[in-house]
Amino acid sequence: MPPFFNLGGCQNLFPAIVEQLQYNYDKLKKQNLRIGKAAVIIPFQKGVDQLPETKVDELDVIAKALLDSPYMACVVINKEGRITFINEPYLDFLGMKREAVMGKHILDVTPNSKLPEILRTGKVDPVDIWSVSNRETIVTRLPIVKDGQIIGAIGQTIFEDMSGASILMQKLKEMETAYTTVSEVLDPYMVYVIVDKDGIITFMNQTYLDLLGMEKEDVVGKHVLDITPHSQLPDIIKSGEIHEVDVWTINGRDTIITRSPIIKDGEITGAVGRSLFLDMSGAKKLVNKLIETEKELNLYKEEVRQIYRAKWQFKDLIGQSSEFTFIKSMAQQLSNTRSTILITGESGTGKELFAQAIHNNSNREGPFVRVSCAALPENLLESELFGYDEGAFTGAKKGGKPGKFELAKGGTIFLDEIGDMPLGMQTKLLSVLQERTVERVGGTIPISIQVRVIAATNRDLERMVAKREFRDDLYYRLNVVRINIPPLRKRMDDLPLIIKDLIARINSQLKTNILDISEKALKVLCNYSWPGNVRELENLLERAINLANLKREKQLEYKHFPSLFEGSSEEMPVDMAIDHLGEAVEKLEKITIERALEKAGNNKTQAAKILGLNKSVLYRKMKKYSIAIE
């Protein structure tokens, strides 16, 4: 049931008072007071005229049942102003007996009563301070209406005396002080104002008051347009819109503000306006800071872009043979698709070059990130691919580290030597490719990835699947579109073009000036099988250019390719003749290691197998002879 009394607008001003009335009413209910069936309680705001048809004197029964409370004083008069009900607390105030007042005019009992005024005007007097028998208390007065006619009035105290009211007012004052103190401490550098649904200012902080040069008493309770004539808060109340950012001038000072409605139970009950900065200087500082941060971020992005940069374009892929031209055309067409691509071919055929060209020919703005699946053990490969959270393992960086999939966001991740990936990692990679999310090592939050996957291998994956050395489901997931690059020996017609292009590139890198290659040297190169493919050819040409440059020669000759000699000492260049046995052995060992690396396409693991050496021994000898792999 709703509250028996409705104090109208005073609810917004004195919520504690309304709570006290409801408390008194609830106490009456707990006393199990009973009233006749004909007496139906309707909230006063609906008016007594909505009661069922009853005799007027039954109102006395209702009043006696509900209003004879020991916690408040109450009196009811009829339309002639005569008392029809008065409770014991009121009689105690008067120091009179019930028989002495019942039926008498209210002014004969309390000469300063304002209930006759309520009968005359029909208005509600929600709160008033009233004195009776030298005791001050807070009262409320309401008309009693039936069939649209005023048939009486009721007056009721909210407190028996002013001591209760004083306690309430002190509490309200303490709450307001606490609210003001907190607001000023939290927001000393911003201004804000709050208005109710009628545009009346209910609060303005001290910073705003200082800027306006006014006191709180000058603004609180006034319409906001009377204080700031151009305020747009009334428009916010009408429209319910939010003004996220606007420039507002306060006494000649420009500031950035935001305005928003206050909504309760789906209805707009007011609006608030507050500044984001006290003046534009703060905004300018923020803008400058954002600009600096953006520049720094762009710098980092550029560094990442340089580290993970794809430099090869399709125009850099040299060849005119029909098979190579077809593969190149297919790769160009696949550039702008989202499909996963598997690039196969022998070591040194240029699989990564094709992957870079595909990335550069696409519309992807993210980086090109290469991962060698054979270079790292399984435990390190997982954190390299997927990243790790802080504390994931001993030595983990504070704040964690993003993996290659995260770094490749919006771009391409190139999984080189995918056939050498451990089986355990294959399972995790398959999950990432299916779900398009990764979880960092030690993490629990899935991270969405927007990346194009290109994988490459020089191994026979079908055979590995048959031997259960490679997961068949991962193979099918990778083998959506396949590009098989032919070995150099199957496109020897392209060799002269490739040699010409490589000589120009190497000249540019080494700052040399070798013009061309002799017919005899070219014939030797054309008769070679090139197990290391284009990579081996590039290494041989670079070595030959260095030898020719040392002799200040402008053309590559047969003698500049000593590794292709078949052991004839007469054909060996003069500068390679060595008399000391130790030097000869070391020279031969160096040449042998270089040949093995060339045949293995610079794959050190395979070169170690060819030489019958442990990988660590090979690394040590490469360091000894200063053999570097570009």
Per-residue confidence (pLDDT) for residue 623, from 0 to 100: 83
Per-residue confidence (pLDDT) for residue 187, from 0 to 100: 55
Any idea where the domains of the chain sit in the sequence?
10-165, 187-276, 314-486, 488-566, 578-630
* Structure tokens, 66: 């509900």
Q: How confident is the model at residue 38 (pLDDT cuts 50, 70, 90)?
A: very low
Q: How confident is the model at residue 443 (pLDDT cuts 50, 70, 90)?
A: confident
Residues shown for the chain: 630
Per-residue confidence (pLDDT) for residue 247, from 0 to 100: 77
Cα 32 to Cα 30: distance, rounded to the nearest angstrom: 5
Tell me which of 66-75, 196-205, 324-333, 419-428 is least confident: 66-75
pLDDT tens sequence across 555-585 = 999 888 888 765 444 344 434 444 456 666 7
Residue 328 has pLDDT above 90, yes or no: yes
Cα 66 to Cα 44: distance, rounded to the nearest angstrom: 13
pLDDT tens sequence across 452-498 = 999 999 999 999 999 999 999 999 999 999 999 999 999 999 999 99
Cα 439 to Cα 433: distance, rounded to the nearest angstrom: 12
Q: Which amino acid is at 62?
A: I
Provide the H-helix boundaries in 128-197. 162-186
Residue 176 has pLDDT above 70, yes or no: no
Tell me which of 275-279, 541-545, 590-594 is least confident: 275-279
What's the topology of domain 314-486? Rossmann fold (3.40.50)
Residue 364 has pLDDT above 60, yes or no: yes
Residue 207 has pLDDT above 90, yes or no: no
Residue 166 has pLDDT above 70, yes or no: no
Domain 10-165, CATH homologous superfamily name and number: PAS domain (3.30.450.20)
CB 627 within 8 A of CB 595: no
Q: How confident is the model at residue 426 (pLDDT cuts 50, 70, 90)?
A: very high
Domain 578-630, CATH homologous superfamily name and number: Homeodomain-like (1.10.10.60)
Per-residue confidence (pLDDT) for residue 550, from 0 to 100: 87
The CATH code of domain 187-276 reads 3.30.450.20
Q: How confident is the model at residue 246 (pLDDT cuts 50, 70, 90)?
A: confident
Q: Which amino acid is at 490?
A: K
Per-residue confidence (pLDDT) for residue 29, from 0 to 100: 44
Let me know if the fold of 488-566 is the same as that of 578-630. no
Beta strands 341-344 and 452-457: pairing type? parallel
Beta strands 368-372 and 412-416: pairing type? parallel
Nearest partner of 434 among 473, 402, 388, judged by Cα: 473
Per-residue confidence (pLDDT) for residue 3, from 0 to 100: 36
Q: Which residue has the higher pLDDT, 391 or 71?
A: 391
Which CATH code of 1.10.8.60, 3.40.50.720, 3.40.50.10800, 1.10.10.10 fits the domain covering 488-566?
1.10.8.60
Cα 536 to Cα 526: distance, rounded to the nearest angstrom: 13
Q: Phi and psi for 593 in degrees, rounded to 5?
A: -65, -40
